[in-house]
Amino acid sequence: MAALIVIFPVFTWATWRIIREQEADTSVPLSSIRRWLTNLALLLTALVFSSDLATFLATFLQGGVSARFALKSLIVFVLVGADFLYYNHGLSHEAPARRHWHQAFALASLATILLTLTFGFLRLGSPAKQQMLSDNRRRVHDLYLRSVSLARAGGGERVLPEILPASRVRVDPFTSRPYEYRRTTASTSQICAVFSDASPEPPAGVLDPWHHKKGLACFELDSRADLTAPLQE
């Protein structure tokens, strides 16, 4: 999304300059740089189209084509085909294409970009939402490090301490409050943190042991097992 926001206006401005030069003097032959850029664009679109078609056919022959994969391939076909058509007809000939040809592709490109950004923001959320998710990932990472330290806390018998020593206390870097630690039995404990938002739902069939809700969330750990993954939330 960031690349689209930056590159699309620059690309539009560069294309507009080329079109103005074509319309200003049609008797001047295409420059070597313009020919090189046009041929490069045609080559790249042909390579992307060929590789996407080959990937689709290989997946189809293996019986792995899903509706999601088919739609992704179709979108690539349409976008690459439109790019190839535009460069092949609009910029590669000596005589400039009609202005409405460029305007139609410019409007179609703008609509596609706006639609892409709209769906992107709807799915990802605002920058503030992404910041909260980033903060929560940092908290989960801190809890993971604590689980590793707890696995080594009790020595060979792995008996957990009642209270963590000051050297083992970890602090939430965003609220400066220490993460909660509670020993439930000699070998099990709970570690807790306050999250600013719920974590994204994992894909279907995937179990995320660090999945959490908004607010206070605790994870039950067992020092006799693998403490890199909680037993339950």
What's the mean pLDDT in 19-46? Answer: 71
How far apart (Å, rounded) are the C-alpha atoms in residues 16 and 9? 10
Residue 30 Cα distances to 8, 15, 90, 106, 224, angstroms: 23, 14, 13, 22, 74
Better pLDDT: 37 or 200: 200
pLDDT of residue 121: 84
- 164-201 per-position pLDDT tens digit: 877 778 899 999 899 999 888 887 888 999 999 888 88
For residue 159, give the amino acid letter.
V
- 138-152 per-position pLDDT tens digit: 999 998 888 887 776
Nearest to 113 by CA among 225, 10, 229, 8: 8
